[in-house]
Structure 1
Amino acid sequence: MSASFLDADLLDGLVTQARSVPRRRAHHNLHTDLAAPAQRLLVAMEPDSFVRPHLHLDPHKAETLVILRGRLGVLLFAPDGSVIGTRLLVPGGACLGYDVAPGCLHAVIALEPGSVFLEAKAGPYIPLAAAEIPAWSPAEDSPEAAGCLRRWAALFTSA
């Protein structure tokens, strides 16, 4: 029998790792196999990083996210890229997470340094297909990314 404890030391180490890499995001997989039927991971993300707008076409790939530290902004998009909904996620706040259905265009941005969340979805792990990333969705390292991130973060300035 074994157990993994999700303690402050683990989260602190993950935040340190996220701050030290160009992507400004780090993952700690709780599943041991990418073919596992459930993908569960901790993600640390800094404010100059984002989860690119995407959707999941597989009807079994609903995605659940729960904030553990910091503040996250969740954005929901129409097919044309217009923002149709936002939610602020804060530990102990009015909204702690989401469960997004397959086919729902969404993105996540960190609004506070040291933000950490728990993510879960059905496995096995399969990278996003081209059809799951809309043409207007900026790649993280693209010239457009910084401007999009600033516009999206501004949607949460009064929150």
Structure 2
Amino acid sequence: MDTVKQFDKQTFDALLSKAAQSERRRANLNVHASYEDVVQRLFIAMMPDSYVRPHRHTQTHKWEFFMAVEGKLTLILFDDNGTVTKRVMLDATGDCRGLEIPPNVWHATVCEAPVVFMEVKQGPYEVTDDKGFAPWAPPEGSEDVPLFLQHLKAVKEGQSAAVINDATE
């Protein structure tokens, strides 16, 4: 018999604590049983200094859905050259709480304060084929990340986020 899963404030507080202690400054709690599941469901806690390299999901069936659970999260959408096409703030207590991103759309997430959000996406999860990273953004761990993350938080629609042109994966 399947077990009913409950997600309460204690769950999210523990996830935020785990993210704060993580080197990547984020942590996830998978709701799905396996990476083979056809729908992947997870909660993600993220700190303001966590860097999610702009990426897209190139498989034609790989959409993503995000919903703010606690706090605020900004999703930034880009064109192929790194120009910001849209900024959407998800706010757990505001007007816009969720967003679905279709396949092949460049995007990144940034936050100003600790946040918990839910991500739902098409499975199965294939680690080697999940993301195509933006060549105009520094790879995770690069010394350029702090400056680039600061730029991402400030860049406006119509402006370029591509401050680094020779980034490698």
CA distance in 1 between partners of 2:125 and 2:141 (Å):
23
Question: Normalising to structure 2: TM-score of the pair?
Answer: 0.86
Paired residues of 1:50 and 1:110 also in contact (CA < 8 A): no
Taking a change above 3 Å as real, the CA distance of residues 10 and 149 of structure 1, as seen in their structure-2 partners, is same
Q: CA RMSD in A?
A: 1.6
Partner of 1:141: 141
Cα deviation for residue 16 of structure 1 reads 0.4
Structure 1's consecutive aligned runs of 4 or more residues displaced over 6 angstroms after TM superposition are: none
CA distance in 2 between partners of 1:11 and 1:138 (Å):
30
Cα deviation for residue 136 of structure 1 reads 1.1
1:1-159 mapped onto 2 (5 Å cutoff): 1-113=2-114, 115-127=115-127, 129=129, 132-155=132-155
Identical amino acids, percent of aligned pairs:
34
Question: Normalising to structure 1: TM-score of the pair?
Answer: 0.91
Unpaired segments ≥5 residues, structure 2: 157-169
Taking a change above 3 Å as real, the CA distance of residues 135 and 14 of structure 1, as seen in their structure-2 partners, is same
Unpaired segments ≥5 residues, structure 1: none
Cα deviation for residue 154 of structure 1 reads 2.1
- AA paired with 2:150? R
Q: Per-residue displacement from partner, 1:52-89 (whole Å, max 9, x unpaired)?
A: 21111111110000001111111011111121211111
- AA paired with 2:108? A
Tell me how many residue pairs correspond in the alignment: 155
CA distance in 2 between partners of 1:144 and 1:9 (Å):
35
